[in-house]
Chains A and B, each alone.
Chain A
């Protein structure tokens, strides 16, 4: 399978092409993607754009990472 490289939290990450940004984050063991209002760890819940738990900044824009396919050179920053 072809691969591509993106930058996650400042680190280069090689992932298979065609996967979601969420799958790329999970593949790098980023299970916790944000802190809740009271400081609890939160990860993805619904996988289909409903819960907004997997949101992160991709190339500076806040998106639901489960809905966005990875692209070469993408920069991903967690909200944590």
Chain B
């Protein structure tokens, strides 16, 4: 396997990774930008093009104009080790087979995944993530005329509901588990954060759509796929729908950082003032350092790109701007904290681990993740705890500790480097 050599490897091509690539390349560094998806944009800018208007288009045009940025799409990290001349050797799995990259420095920008919470019926086809349904529609799923119920928690729900309406779906309602008081607190913080225009646009797009605070799905049912959802909490009702788009907030995707041995704190990658992780030469930027949205991700990406390439003179007022973005981050996690009653949603037989079909009752009997794995194989199936890990954290208070190489199932030939 011949290796690609680069000064800086950036893993993740969402807002943070793209900002990092542009900042680093401005100083002349050779940058390799890798992403699991088929193109740039990450989740929030999925399918974005350089010809688009707005900040995603501007950033993509900037990245495209830099001759020293190379992109590698469809590439997921499988393994990493020390490089032969210092730095890091990272093995990617791609549809064209394994690729090896030698990099002096690395910026991790792996973003976040959605937290799914189990309730009876959540494994039926038609029950999907909130960001999940948004991603599917952006990738070509046709929802024209389909009835969509959006549920879970966080500002993402409104964006998803507006996106579904724009795609021609009938949004039957939005159920947000947070209480009206908490939502009011978030509204005020958003106002202080200068997000009034954004909010007004969303509310206008969603006029006529019912919004139920302190409400959550208690059961999904149907035959071969979803036909009906029962809501509980403040608003109790049963609704007919074709899709339930349910996401209970975002979780920093720290797997990659754990593979590189970076220290974590409070479920996120621990970084210093210049986005450096606990590992020399490895930086982290964006949602994996704490959920805070696009602005924080872009600022952290720029910061990491400049500092990883020694361009400290370009930082200017970035630290001040970042501090403001982090205030918004703190109000996000306060306002959309998950209510304890969500832990009572699974019935004894509700599956928590979808890969190994492990029910709630079997896990309730376990004192820890380690014991749960030994006794039930929870988190040991194909997804390696990516779905049940964050769920078990909420339900049982367990911290997921199962990251080991390779990060994804690999053909034996890839492992042997043939």
Contact = CB atoms under 8 A, between A and B. Distances in A.
A and B form one complex: yes
Interface residues of B, number: 38
A47 B354 contact: no
A68 B139 CA distance: 10
B129 A68 contact: no
Given A45-B129, A45-B132, A51-B354, A20 B140 contact: yes
A32 B136 CA distance: 15
B354 A46 contact: no
Contacts of B383: 50-52
A59 B140 CA distance: 21
B205 to A, nearest CB: 21
B139 A20 contact: yes
B123 A48 contact: no
A14 interface: no
Contacts of B36: 49, 67
B302 interface: no
Interface residues of A, number: 37
Nearest to B142: A27
Given A45-B128, A52-B383, A26 B136 contact: yes
Given A16-B140, A19-B139, A36-B354, A46 B123 contact: no
Given A23-B139, A42-B123, A68 B95 contact: yes
A48 B131 contact: yes
B126 A47 contact: no
B357 A48 contact: no
A22 interface: yes
Nearest to B384: A52
B63 interface: no
A56 interface: no
Given A50-B387, A55-B382, A44 B142 contact: no
A3 B77 CA distance: 32
B134 interface: yes
Contacts of B61: none
A53 B129 CA distance: 12
B342 interface: no
A8 interface: no
B133 interface: yes
Nearest to B223: A41
B126 A48 contact: no
B207 to A, nearest CB: 27
Interface of A: 15-16, 18-20, 22-24, 26-27, 31-33, 36-38, 40-53, 55, 61, 63, 66-69
26 contacts: A19-B140, A20-B38, A20-B136, A22-B141, A23-B139, A27-B140, A36-B123, A36-B351, A37-B356, A37-B357, A38-B357, A41-B124, A42-B125, A46-B116, A46-B129, A46-B132, A46-B387, A48-B132, A50-B113, A50-B386, A50-B387, A51-B354, A52-B355, A61-B95, A68-B38, A68-B95
Interface of B: 36-38, 43, 74, 76, 95, 113-114, 116, 123-129, 131-136, 139-142, 224-225, 351, 354-357, 382-383, 386-387
Given A37-B357, A69-B38, 5 more contacts: A20-B139, A22-B141, A23-B136, A38-B357, A53-B354
